[in-house]
Amino acid sequence: MAHGDGTAHDDGQQQHPISLYFKVWGLLFVLSAASYAVDYYHVESYLRWSLVLIFMMLKAGFIVAVFMHMQWERLALIYAILLPPILVLVFVFLMVFEADYTFLTRGIFFILGN
Amino acid sequence: MTESTLTESGQSLARPSGHRGFVSDWASDQRAFKGVPWGKAMMWIFLLSDTFIFSCFLLSYMTVRISTTVPWPNPSEVFALSMGGDPVPLLLIAIMTFILISSSGTMAMAVMFGYKKDRRTTAILMLVTALFGASFVGMQAFEWTKLIVDEGVRPWGNPMGAPQFGAVFFMITGFHGFHVSVGVIFLFAIARKVWRGDFDKQTPGFYTSRKGNYEIVETMGLYWHFVDLVWVFIFAFFYLW
């Protein structure tokens, strides 16, 4: 992330050219259209999931970095806000294992009966 | 008084940047978020907590979808709209996505004009943002009605597949729609203050008796962009997965 390039004033005011917002706006439109196209043209399986995830992360990144001005903030704020959500990934892994186990148990139950 | 003294002394010092700056900001035994108004820092902290709430919702959705033995309804077909006979997949959802992105664009520009103290343009852009938001909620109401009345989706079951589909759908989109509705009210309230020129004339706030400034437009903008951000994740995980 490029920060401290002098565009953000010291008193917290953000001054950026309007063309920047139009560019990001257009980019978000293109990315949304692309992720819609993934569904429209029935891209399936791993290609579908990876494309959806890539477009999602790019969109989220542009919104946070430019629209929410995060790339011009000091690292103290960036780390305080952006690092904690990454820990959610640990929760994701835990729940994937848990859900797989539940699925297995249900499978055994429904096939073998009780 | 104490606060302003701290701010002034904090700003008179030359602050290191990069990782050295990160360490010194957090170790300064003062406010950690320097050069950021309190309202903005606190809005970021609130958004962080909201991130965890939506994460828990999406995680429970993931858990339920992995563990069900009944096939999950295909959202591409469930949310299709027929246009002249042929069903177009996710048409309404795509329109809602573009509307929310456009509202984020107008909001970002409202913040920019706010700092230029152009109160007319700021207020108009905020009103446009609010109207985009209101139309989003309207389309969501249409979507819910179609699903409940025509398709027979209920929180405890539906004709298409896994019964958890309805519960997850109503909880996640309902909570997001509630956020959008609150954001629209928030936008109208701040746009009214901007339009009246409260921040130019330094009118004391009705509840707080404190003078506001255009930073509130950016703080409000952060909330609105967050609503758009959450939709990006819902769109990917719920509608496209």
* Count of residues making up chain A: 114
- Residue A98: pLDDT over 60: yes
Name chain A contacts of B111, Cβ cutoff 8 Å: 14
Instruction: Test A60 with B112 for CB contact under 8 angstroms.
Output: no
User: Which of A56, A59, A66 to mutate against chain B (most B CBs within 10 Å)?
Assistant: A59
Instruction: Test A64 with B229 for CB contact under 8 angstroms.
Output: yes
Domain ranges within chain B, ordered by starting residue: 1-35, 36-239
- Residue A5: pLDDT over 90: no
Q: Does A107 touch chain B (CB under 8 A)?
A: yes
Q: Is the dihedral of CA A23, A26, A30, A35 positive or negative?
A: positive
Smallest CA–CA distance from A59 into chain B, residue = B232
Q: With bands split at pLDDT 50, 70 and 90, how would you rate the model's confidence at A91?
A: very high
Task: Encode chain B (241 residues) as per-residue pLDDT tens digits.
Answer: 344 445 555 555 678 888 888 888 888 888 888 888 889 999 999 999 999 999 999 999 999 999 999 999 988 888 888 777 778 888 899 999 999 999 999 999 999 999 999 999 999 999 999 999 999 999 999 999 999 998 889 999 899 889 999 999 999 999 999 999 999 999 999 999 999 988 888 888 888 888 888 899 999 999 999 999 999 999 999 999 8
Of the candidates A35, A59, A77, the beta carbon closest to that of B36 is on: A77
- Residue A11: pLDDT over 70: no
pLDDT at residue A43 in the model? 87
pLDDT at residue A13 in the model? 66
Instruction: Test B236 with A55 for CB contact under 8 angstroms.
Output: yes
Q: What is the pLDDT of residues A26-83, one digit of tens each?
A: 999 999 999 999 988 988 889 999 999 999 999 999 999 999 999 999 899 999 999 9
Query: In the CATH scheme, what is the homologous superfamily, with its name and number, of domain B36-239?
Result: Cytochrome c oxidase, subunit III, four-helix bundle (1.20.120.80)
Instruction: Test B44 with A81 for CB contact under 8 angstroms.
Output: yes
pTM of the predicted model as reported, rounded to 2 decimal places: 0.89
Instruction: Give how far A7 is from chain B: nearest CA, Å.
Output: 12
pLDDT at residue A96 in the model? 96
Q: DSSP states of chain B as a string?
A: -HHHHHHHHHHHSPPP-HHHHHHHHHTSSS-SSTTS-HHHHHHHHHHHHHHHHHHHHHHHHHHHHHH-SSPPP-HHHHT-EEETTEEETTHHHHHHHHHHHHHHHHHHHHHHHHHTT-HHHHHHHHHHHHHHHHHHHHHHHHHHHIIIIIS--BTTB-SSS-THHHHHHHHHHHHHHHHHHHHHHHHHHHHHHHHHTHHHHTPBPTTT--B--THHHHHHHHHHHHHHHHHHHHIIIII--
Smallest CA–CA distance from A16 into chain B, residue = B112
Name chain B contacts of A97, Cβ cutoff 8 Å: none
